[in-house]
């Protein structure tokens, strides 16, 4: 993934890695679970290209009459802006099909959101399973998850993201060691 985020580029240069590549991992020092929730459901609402995922999110939230906040795609967002959005929601709806490593739900979870996602096998959310997220197969199941959330899964996913996925800086150091011999 390429980035124009100056703080990440500075981290790369600190390890003598001159690249605009962002390494797998999360910026664990950025995201914070403050505990207070509004009950809103967050999701992506726009993309550069129309997708079934966006249509599904709009349909399920409208059909269910559920309160929601939307993250609009098509440009980089400031970390503080994202953190406030994530922290204002109690649930993050992630109806994705194929994303590579799906960063946004991971960030939302680290800010305290319960992740509700589909069971598509290549959705980029290996960290989302029946223990760590509420997984649905159909729209009716999705609505049931949103109406009856199981927040006990939030800390389980947070622990997995911290312990298994890890932070970018540590992963950059490991990469530099492997490449450097």
Residue 109 or 58, more confident: 109
26 backbone dihedrals φ, ψ, rounded to 5°: -120, 150
Does the residue 121 lie in any domain?
Answer: yes
Q: For position 62, which CATH number holds?
A: 3.40.50.2000
Residue 105 or 175, more confident: 105
The residue segments making up the domain with residue 141 are 30-167
Does the residue 180 lie in any domain?
Answer: no
- CA–CA dist 148, 166 (Å, integer): 30
Domain count, the chain: 1
Does the residue 61 lie in any domain?
Answer: yes
pTM: 0.78
- Asked if 135 contacts 146 with a C-beta cutoff of 8 angstroms, the reply is no
Does the residue 24 lie in any domain?
Answer: no
Lowest mean pLDDT among 9-23, 67-81, 109-123, 129-143: 9-23
Question: Looking at residues 139-147, what average pLDDT do you find?
Answer: 92
List pLDDT tens digits, range 94-133.
887 666 678 889 999 999 999 999 887 666 778 889 999 9
Q: Which two tokens stand for residue 41?
A: 């459901």
- CA–CA dist 138, 142 (Å, integer): 6
DSSP 56-77: HHHHHHHHHT--EEEEE-SS--
Other Cβ atoms within 10 Å of 181 Cβ, number: 4
Does the residue 60 lie in any domain?
Answer: yes
Does the residue 13 lie in any domain?
Answer: no
Does the residue 172 lie in any domain?
Answer: no
Question: Among the ranges 57-71, 74-88, 97-111, 146-160, which has the highest mean pLDDT value?
Answer: 146-160
Does the residue 21 lie in any domain?
Answer: no
């Amino acid at each position: 993934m390429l980035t124009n985020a100056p703080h990440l580029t500075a981290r790369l240069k600190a390890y003598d890695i001159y690249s605009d590549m962002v390494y797998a991992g999360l910026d664990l020092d950025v995201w914070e679970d403050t505990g207070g929730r509004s009950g809103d459901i967050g999701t992506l609402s726009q993309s550069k290209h129309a997708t079934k995922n966006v249509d599904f999110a709009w349909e399920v939230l409208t059909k269910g009459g559920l309160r929601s906040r939307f993250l609009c795609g098509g440009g980089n967002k400031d970390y503080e802006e994202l953190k406030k959005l994530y922290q204002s929601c109690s649930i993050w709806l992630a109806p994705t099909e194929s994303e590579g490593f799906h960063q946004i739900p991971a960030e939302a979870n680290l800010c305290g959101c319960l992740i509700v996602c589909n069971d598509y096998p290549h959705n980029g959310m290996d960290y989302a399973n029946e223990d760590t997220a509420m997984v649905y197969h159909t729209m009716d199941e999705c609505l049931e998850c949103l109406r009856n959330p199981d927040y006990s899964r939030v800390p389980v996913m947070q622990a997995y993201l911290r312990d298994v996925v890890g932070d970018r800086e540590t992963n950059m150091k490991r990469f530099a060691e492997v490449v450097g011999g």
